[in-house]
Amino acid sequence: MPEIKLVNVFTHMGAGGNPCPVVADASALPSEDMQGIARHFKYESGFVLPSAGSDADYIFRFWVPRHEMEMCGHATIGALWALATTGLLRAEQVRIDTRSGPVTGFVDIRSDDPYIEITQPAGKVVDVTREEEESVLATLHISRADLLDLPIQNAVTSRVKTLIPMKDVERLNRLSSTMLTTERCCQGIGSTGLYPYAIVDQGKRCFEARQFPKSSGYPEDAATGIAAAALAFGLLKNGLVKADSERITVLQGREMNRLSEIGVRLGFAGGRSIGCLLGGCVKLERTHEW
């Protein structure tokens, strides 16, 4: 029977984070059992498999209660942490195959509590249409007056997220939506989640956000690494951060009483953005036998 580690990923000062069940050796698990674990815990879940002769060190698979996902940032970080802290990770740089493409993980295996970073490709950011904007505003029960003078945008590194520039953190944390209306809106605009954000301290490159997912089977995420990576490229395009590799901090989960902290570092070559590193801290909550 596989051991499941329930970890909290992207913790803030040792608390909060996004809960994630991780199976560090899922080689004997059929797909229906992986989905069954996600349904049992009601969280995005990560599964580690051998590389099957490819150039990668591992294959990672990800499930939410309703379906398999191509990529999950916090589950990737949680799985790498589980491998490292159980002595199964033999190198500080690890190549991972996911259904959205290759990912490289960086882990300080000498640390008892390693900080994990993973690669994400360069982001693409596109303004939504006026009709799509109206759908987003109606879904979140807000008006243009609640936003900064910036566009609502679809941004993607691994999955498309819709970036909504709220005027302040207070407005951000008053937002509400239902799973049904969120799903309908996201379906119409080609997105996998609404990601409203606000400036906390622009000088310190600190922002706060919330994630209302399209069809994960729950209404809100405490921390969403893939969305934070997409947000970093939106911030860059909108001039809210400079074009350098200094850390961007994204806080999330406050309204869920699970305040979380996600770190993003943009990468550049010849003045051109080539990707980013997405990182965070992990804490073990408990282990579970399936």
Q: Which parts of the chain fold into alpha helices (H)?
A: 31-41, 73-85, 130-139, 169-172, 179-189, 225-237
Among 77-81, 90-94, 145-149, 194-198, the least confident range: 90-94
**Distance in angstroms (rounded) separating the CA atoms of residues 73 and 232:** 14
Structure tokens at 73: 């940032």
Structure tokens at 144: 């243009």
Q: Are strands 124-127 and 116-121 parallel, antiparallel or unpaired?
A: unpaired
- Mean per-residue pLDDT for 16-34? 96
Let me know the angle formed at the C-alpha of 70 by 106 and 156, rounded to the nearest 5 degrees. Answer: 80
At 52, the amino acid letter reads A
Query: Mean pLDDT in the chain?
Result: 95
Domain 3-121+281-289 has CATH 3.10.310.10: yes
CA-wise closest residue to 153 among 133, 122, 135, 128 = 128
pLDDT of residue 109: 86
The residues of the chain that CATH labels 3.10.310.10 are 3-121+281-289, 124-273
**Distance in angstroms (rounded) separating the CA atoms of residues 46 and 282:** 14
- Mean per-residue pLDDT for 44-55? 89
In words, the CATH class of domain 124-273 is: alpha beta
Look at residue 217 and tell me whether its pLDDT is greater than 90: no
**Distance in angstroms (rounded) separating the CA atoms of residues 212 and 197:** 12
- Mean per-residue pLDDT for 177-202? 97
